[in-house]
């Protein structure tokens, strides 16, 4: 295509066309959390393939809405992305992507199926929630240095995460049970936010379930994001809140503001919950 | 299949298998609003086909999450529903549906593409928002009798809609601009709520854009719903709030509680906005 990507994020979500509607990608070990690759980067990779496909057909390629249904955990290694243009409209274009990997036994396993719409974003929403009151990044807790179990996650080497200490009571065994986690986020190589990076940022914080006293693996079952404005460069603010909990699942909402304090995106996911209660 | 459905809603979302993974349905003129068929009933029809498909393969058939991307407006007439089982898992099964109709010129046009997950619902969530404070149904405004432009919509003959007068200032030219609309909903034939009816109920109220002074057609671009508990029979309470507005689009959130006051479902949609501002 054009020049090779220079940022870590763009390298990870780069795709190469292989055959009609199909792209090859590669997930590395650099965005790992727990035993799998972070779901946010898998979503951004899928949206990247869809944007390439739409752009190659002269359709809109700025992400407005994305729904990903997670099927199995992605692993470092080659990825096959099958895309479909469902409708190229006048103001909105909609596509589909299927993300697959070849498992150790040679079988191709689907990781995620996604639908997404693309169009034109405004520079700022006309009406949107203001950003939360946060201490400045230097008054927050570093995700990598302050949270011991995140030290092993290569993902935490890709961005600076500065969490509001007022939402970290669970680190000392005192979850607030409000269901709130918030902080600042910035890529270590200063890659500027755009819709694909916002999709990643919306799923980059630790699970808000921790603030409910529920510790463990909270796999995303489905996540839908709306990108509502073009972000400006600089630190992002992200706030995650918990929605309904029940049946071993939880709804988790996230909002992201750019460095100008503009709400630029939001998401809602249904995730699984660990069995034990705190 | 089994006995023919007896309720209006079940009749509308009934599907008949035609070939492998494909079902026939029929949308009638009885769920019309403006020039098209209500999007909620199209979503319920798609989820109904997916539930049939999953059930026929021995997988889960209780709706947990649904994402529908709307492509073109559905019309009364025959519908073709193509379904796919993407993954039948131990606790969750995920499928896809494509809703199509034959247009007047003979071409098959896709109306909606959807992804959804099915599993087992709890009887009540462990943690969820309480219902809003509403006057009793008899102290509310009838959607059909109180809102003149809804009288022509056959949709409003399918259910009793009783709107909280405190959220109807826009009827007298005084939108509160809070972005809130709420009320009671119950099918006229008393068809009890279940996950498929909740999916319909979440998109059944007038657009919350009215309370922002924005009047006109607000087509749904995509809607994702989570069903979080099994509803009990009786009146549903529905609250709709506006999220970010910009670029000619708006995010709209909805929540639905059953007659016991239990939050049973919620949704978020991206919709188009009319051009003029009030």
Rounded CA-CA distance B136/B243 in Å is: 27
Q: How many beta carbons lie within 10 A of that of residue A276, not counting itself?
A: 9
- pTM, two decimal places: 0.97
Of the candidates A13, A272, A154, A139, which has an alpha carbon nearest to the alpha carbon of residue B89? A272
Name the more confident of B145 and A128. Answer: A128
Cβ–Cβ under 8 Å, residues B203 and B254? yes
Under an 8 A CB cutoff, do B224 and A67 touch? Answer: yes
Q: Give the pLDDT of residue A29.
A: 95
Share of chain A above pLDDT 70, in %: 98
Q: Give the pLDDT of residue B274.
A: 82
A251: closest CA of chain B, how far (Å): 8
ipTM above threshold 0.90? yes
3-state helix, strand, coil in chain A (%, to 5): 20, 40, 40
**Res A171 pLDDT > 50:** yes
**Res A249 pLDDT > 80:** yes
Rounded CA-CA distance B108/A275 in Å is: 47
Q: Does A176 touch chain B (CB under 8 A)?
A: no
A34: closest CA of chain B, how far (Å): 21
pLDDT band at A2 (very low <50, low <70, confident <90, very high): low
Cβ–Cβ under 8 Å, residues A113 and A96? yes
Q: Give the pLDDT of residue B217.
A: 86
**Res A278 pLDDT > 50:** no
pLDDT band at A273 (very low <50, low <70, confident <90, very high): very high
Rounded CA-CA distance A199/B224 in Å is: 16
4-23 of A, contacting B, C-beta below 8 A: none
C-alpha dihedral, B36 to B39 to B41 to B46, nearest 10°? 120
Q: Give the pLDDT of residue B250.
A: 97
B131: closest CA of chain A, how far (Å): 13
Residues of A in contact with B242 (CB under 8 A): 127
User: What is the sign of the dihedral through the CA atoms of A229, A235, A237 and A238?
Assistant: positive
Residues of A in contact with B65 (CB under 8 A): 69, 221-222, 270
Of the candidates A115, A52, A63, which has an alpha carbon nearest to the alpha carbon of residue A92? A63
For A87-101, what is the mean pLDDT? Answer: 96
Which of A19-28, A124-133, A149-158, B41-50 comes out lowest in average pLDDT?
A149-158
Q: Does A115 touch chain B (CB under 8 A)?
A: yes
Helix (H) / strand (E) element for A195: namely helix A195-201
Q: Which residues pair with A162 in a beta bridge?
A: A142, A184
Residues of A in contact with B266 (CB under 8 A): 243-244, 251
Q: How many beta carbons lie within 10 A of that of residue B172, not counting itself?
A: 7
Strand B62-70 vs strand A108-119: parallel, antiparallel, or unpaired?
unpaired
Q: How does pLDDT run across A192-222, given as a tens digit for each residue?
A: 999 999 999 999 999 999 999 998 889 999 9
- For A244, which of B128, B222, B268 is closest by C-beta distance? B128
Q: Give the pLDDT of residue A163.
A: 97
Q: Which residues pair with A225 in a beta bridge?
A: A66, A267
HEC states along A24-74? Answer: EEEECHHHEECCEECHHHHHHHHHHHHHHHHHHCCCCCEEEEEEEEECCCC
Residues of A in contact with B179 (CB under 8 A): 127
- For A110, which of B87, B119, B242 is closest by C-beta distance? B87
Of the candidates A218, A217, A236, A215, which has an alpha carbon nearest to the alpha carbon of residue A227? A236
Per-position pLDDT tens, chain B of length 278: 557 778 999 999 999 999 999 999 999 999 999 878 999 999 999 999 999 999 999 887 899 999 999 999 999 999 999 999 999 998 999 999 999 999 888 999 999 999 999 999 999 999 999 999 999 999 999 988 888 888 889 999 999 999 999 999 999 999 999 999 999 999 999 999 999 999 999 999 999 999 999 988 899 999 999 999 999 999 999 999 999 999 999 999 999 999 999 999 999 999 999 875 43
B175: closest CA of chain A, how far (Å): 15
Cβ–Cβ under 8 Å, residues B10 and B188? no
Q: How many beta carbons lie within 10 A of that of residue B135, not counting itself?
A: 14
Average pLDDT value over all residues in chain A: 94
Which alpha helices (H) appear in B136-216, and where do they start and end? 143-146, 195-201
For A270-274, what is the mean pLDDT? Answer: 93
């Amino acid at each position: 295509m054009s020049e090779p990507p220079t940022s870590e994020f763009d390298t990870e979500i780069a795709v190469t066309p292989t055959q009609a509607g199909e792209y090859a990608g590669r997930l590395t070990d650099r965005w790992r959390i727990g035993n799998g690759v972070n779901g946010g980067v898998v979503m951004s990779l899928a949206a990247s393939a869809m944007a390439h496909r739409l752009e190659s057909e002269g359709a809109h390629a700025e992400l407005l809405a994305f729904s990903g249904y997670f099927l199995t955990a992605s692993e470092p290694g080659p990825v096959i992305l099958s895309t479909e243009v469902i409708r190229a409209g006048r103001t909105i274009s909609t596509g589909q992507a299927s993300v697959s990997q070849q498992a150790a036994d040679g079988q191709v396993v689907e990781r995620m199926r996604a639908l997404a719409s693309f169009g034109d974003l405004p520079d700022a929403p006309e009406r949107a929630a203001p950003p939360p009151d946060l201490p400045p990044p230097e008054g927050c807790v570093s995700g990598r240095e302050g949270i011991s179990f995140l030290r092993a996650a290569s993902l935490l080497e890709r961005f600076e995460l500065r969490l509001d200490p007022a939402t970290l009571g669970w680190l000392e065994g005192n979850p607030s049970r409000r269901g709130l986690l918030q902080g600042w986020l910035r890529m270590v190589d200063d890659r500027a936010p755009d819709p694909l990076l916002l999709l990643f940022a919306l799923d980059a914080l630790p699970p808000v379930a921790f603030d409910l006293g529920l510790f463990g693996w909270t796999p995303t079952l489905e996540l839908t994001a709306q990108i509502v404005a073009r972000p400006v460069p600089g630190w992002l603010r992200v706030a995650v809140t918990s929605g309904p909990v029940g049946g071993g699942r939880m709804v988790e909402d996230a909002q992201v503001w750019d460095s100008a304090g503009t709400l630029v995106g939001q998401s809602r996911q249904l995730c699984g919950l660990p069995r034990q209660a705190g």
